[in-house]
Structures are given as structure tokens and as C-alpha cells.
Amino acid sequence: MSKFKIPAVPSSEITPPEVWQARREWIARAGAAALALGAPSWAHRRAMAAPAPGSPLPGKPDPRYAVMDAPTPERDVTSYNNYYEFGTDKGDPARHAAALRLDPWAVAVQGEAARPRSFALEDLLKLAPMQERVYRLRCVEGWSMVIPWVGYSLSELLKQVEPTGNARYVEFVTAMQPENMRGLKSSVLEWPYTEVLRMDEAMHPLTMLVFGLYGKVLPQQNGAPVRLAVPWKYGFKSAKSLVAIRLHEKPLPSSWMRAAPHEYGFYANVNPEVPHPRWSQATERRIGEGGLFAPKRKTLMFNGYAEQVASLYQGLDLRANY
Ligand SMILES: Nc1nc2c(c(=O)[nH]1)N[C@H]1C(S)=C(S)[C@@H](COP(=O)(O)O)O[C@H]1N2
Ligand SMILES: [Mo]
């Protein structure tokens, strides 16, 4: 495993002063909130139900994992979503995802592991210290956001089950609640929604298990109660509402690979030089930034995380392996 380097802001990325100012204010606010809240109120009770979406979930800000871009306003992060189980319109998840049944919730970690087992959500919340990390999210559709997530590296969970030497791929299986998810009637994808990473990608410290955003428990539309954030890949790799994580020896396709194999490859690394078959990926619209007429931003290789992750793909033809 390559050693994690502290991310530096590429000099090509010139941040306008108003963005800096917004970012400074936001850091001050987040710091004050973390101090005021201390440990979440439910942390000391035992056998409690999982905390409700929107209740406080502070994380310790980790500057190693913070991009300098201004975070996208919370109202945009929670109202402009892709969560096809609740419909394909950007407003559908915020309208309909409250129907998702959250309690009880567990994530089964299975397959190529010496100690496979199921983790109750309450135990996952205590497994490692909560961190706050400000990540970019680049949707394959051409828009992006900057989101302060709360959670910890997925590797913290994976190491608990002691993966065997055969564990080379990691599959993420998400919730399927037909009575609560109106989108499952659509055949746009095969359900449940699944994603797959290579083991070294899954173990990379940037790959995050997320329980909250903006210092609060995840709202359903953003993937409550636990989701993935893989910031150097297109957003669809960051599967929401995880119920199982399976370690495999052989590669396997994800939902999107099955649905449109010529459009969605295994890696889905953000790459401005490889267009989607139906549109360019060279630029993106940052949600919350001046509406439809704001100038587009240049999309960055690996979504700006090249310094941390490029070594994972040494010798790989990134055009052929999209
Ligand atoms: N289960 C599930 N996870 C999912 C999706 C989905 O439809 N279902 N959409 C993906 C896509 S395309 C994107 S861009 C991100 C969006 O995350 P956000 O709504 O929290 O910004 O979630 C990803 N995870
Ligand atoms: Mo997306």
C-alpha cells in the first residue's frame, strides 16, 4: 500500500478571495459547533436506537482531507440528489426518501475474510473516531459539489473482519425496500444498486464510510444511515444506504456496468480527457455557484486527488480503463 501523502492544493487551482472568505467563515463555524456539542448526546447511552437524521454528529476536522473550495450550501447538498431508488428527478430523493426505514440497521461484511460478521449501526458509529472531511463530489452528469462529510476511512471497518489474501474486490450492496422505495418500480437499473472497488481502492484512506454531513446525521436523501464517499471517482461509485459489503476474489460488474456497459466502466475515475459517449467530461457546473449562467469549472484529473491516488493506477491505460 502506498503511503498517504498530505494533499497539497495544485498551483493551477487559483481560489478567488470570496471563496477563501466563505471557507474561513465555514471553518470557524464548524470549529465552534464541534466545541459546543462535544460528544453526541446518544454516545453514552446503551442499546439506543440509531440517531435520527439531522441530529448532531460532530466530527473532528481533519485538514489532511479538506479541499480549499467553499462547501456547497447545505440546502443544495440535501435537495439536489441522485438516489434512483426514490426516482430519477433531482428533487425526488428529498421528496420521497423519508420513507426509508432506518431502524434497525446493520451492515454485513462477508466473503473472503477470516472473521466475517454483521455490524449493527450503533457499533459502526463507535468503531472509529468521527472525522470531518471536506470532499469534492463530481457526478458523471457534469455537476459537482463540495461536501463536509462526517465518518471515517472504510479501512477501519474492513480490517475488523481480517480480509484473506484472496480478497481482491469489494462489492457494496445497498438497501432494497420495495414498499418504501417508489423508484424500484423502474427498470432503469437492476436492484439492489451495487458498486465495486478494487481492494486497494477500498483500503485507501480517502475512501470514506460516511454517517453525516454538515455536522449532522445523514438525511435519507444523502444515503442514511451509512454510505460511501470515494472522492476521486464519479459520484455513482459512492453507494448510499449500505447493507452489505462483500469481499470477492474475482471481479464482478456493478449495477451501472450492467445497465450500460459501453458507458460505465469498472474504474469510473474522474478523467476530463475521457468523454462520456454522449457528452464531454472536460468541465463541470458547481452546484450553488451562480446558477446556470455561472462559468463552468475545469474538471480535474482524479477530481483533484491525483497526488493521493495516481499511484494506484501506474501502468494502467486510463483511456481503455475508464
Ligand atoms: N443507492 C444509491 N446510491 C447512489 C445513487 C443511487 O441512485 N442509489 N446515486 C449515485 C450518484 S449518481 C451520485 S452523483 C451520488 C450523489 O450523492 P448525493 O445525493 O449525496 O450528492 O450518489 C450515488 N449513490
Ligand atoms: Mo452521479
In a domain? residue 3:
no
Looking from the CA of residue 223, the nearest atom of ligand 1 is 20
Determine the distance separating the centroid of ligand 1 and the alpha carbon of 236, expressed in angstroms: 5
Using one digit for the tens of pLDDT, what is the confidence trace for 61-110?
A: 999 999 999 999 999 999 999 999 999 999 999 999 999 999 999 999 99
Shared domain check, 31 and 120: no
Q: Which ligand is nearest to the CA of 256?
A: 1
Quote the cell numbers at residue 71: 462547501
pLDDT score recorded for residue 43: 46
Cβ 231 under 6 angstroms from ligand 1:
no
Shared domain check, 89 and 35: no
Q: Tell me, what CATH number does 104's domain have? A: 3.90.420.10
- Pocket mutation for ligand 1, best pick of 149, 238, 284 (most atoms within 8 Å of C-beta): 238
Cβ 135 under 6 angstroms from ligand 1:
no
pLDDT score recorded for residue 163: 98
pLDDT in tens, the chain (322 residues): 333 333 333 333 334 444 434 544 555 555 555 545 444 444 444 445 678 999 999 999 999 999 999 999 999 999 999 999 999 999 999 999 999 999 999 999 999 999 999 999 999 999 999 999 999 999 999 999 999 999 999 999 999 999 999 999 999 999 999 999 999 999 999 999 999 999 999 999 999 999 999 999 999 999 999 999 999 999 999 999 999 999 999 999 999 999 999 999 999 999 999 999 999 999 999 999 987 788 999 999 999 999 999 999 999 999 999 9
In a domain? residue 170:
yes
Determine the distance separating the centroid of ligand 1 and the alpha carbon of 211, expressed in angstroms: 14
Residue with cell 444511515: 225
Shared domain check, 207 and 173: yes
User: Residue 246: beta bridge partners?
Assistant: 110, 171
pLDDT score recorded for residue 291: 73
User: What is the DSSP track for 195-235?
Assistant: EEEEHHHHHSTT-EEEEEETTEEPPGGGTTT-EEE-TTB-G
DSSP letter at 69 equals S
**Dihedral Cα 75, 79, 82, 87, nearest 10 deg:** 170
Cβ 151 under 6 angstroms from ligand 1:
no
Cβ 267 under 6 angstroms from ligand 1:
no
In a domain? residue 152:
yes
Cβ 174 under 6 angstroms from ligand 1:
yes
Shared domain check, 17 and 158: no
Cβ 222 under 6 angstroms from ligand 1:
yes
Cα separation of 5 and 293, whole Å?
37
Cβ 85 under 6 angstroms from ligand 1:
yes
In a domain? residue 320:
no
pLDDT score recorded for residue 14: 39
Shared domain check, 186 and 38: no
pLDDT score recorded for residue 25: 53
In a domain? residue 131:
yes
Cβ 80 under 6 angstroms from ligand 1:
no
Using one digit for the tens of pLDDT, what is the confidence trace for 140-158?
A: 999 999 999 999 999 999 9
Looking from the CA of residue 193, the nearest atom of ligand 1 is 1
User: Residue 284: beta bridge partners?
Assistant: 297
Shared domain check, 267 and 182: yes
Quote the cell numbers at residue 273: 480527457
Determine the distance separating the centroid of ligand 1 and the alpha carbon of 229, expressed in angstroms: 10
Determine the distance separating the centroid of ligand 2 and the alpha carbon of 237, expressed in angstroms: 8
Shared domain check, 302 and 261: yes
The enclosing H or E element of 298 equals strand 297-298
Shared domain check, 129 and 18: no
Q: 68 is in which domain, residue-wise? A: 56-313
pLDDT score recorded for residue 12: 36
Give the residue, by CA position, lying nearest to ligand 1 atom 21: 81
Looking from the CA of residue 183, the nearest atom of ligand 1 is 7
Shared domain check, 173 and 276: yes
141 neighbors 270 (Cβ within 8 angstroms): no
Give the residue, by CA position, lying nearest to ligand 1 atom 6: 83
- How many domains does the chain contain in total? 2
In a domain? residue 280:
yes
pLDDT score recorded for residue 48: 56
Shared domain check, 289 and 205: yes
Shared domain check, 133 and 17: no
In a domain? residue 272:
yes
Shared domain check, 246 and 109: yes
In a domain? residue 319:
no
Cα separation of 215 and 217, whole Å?
7
- Pocket mutation for ligand 1, best pick of 84, 86, 145, 240 (most atoms within 8 Å of C-beta): 240
Give the residue, by CA position, lying nearest to ligand 1 atom 4: 239
Please tell me whether residue 309 adopts helix, strand or coil conformation. helix
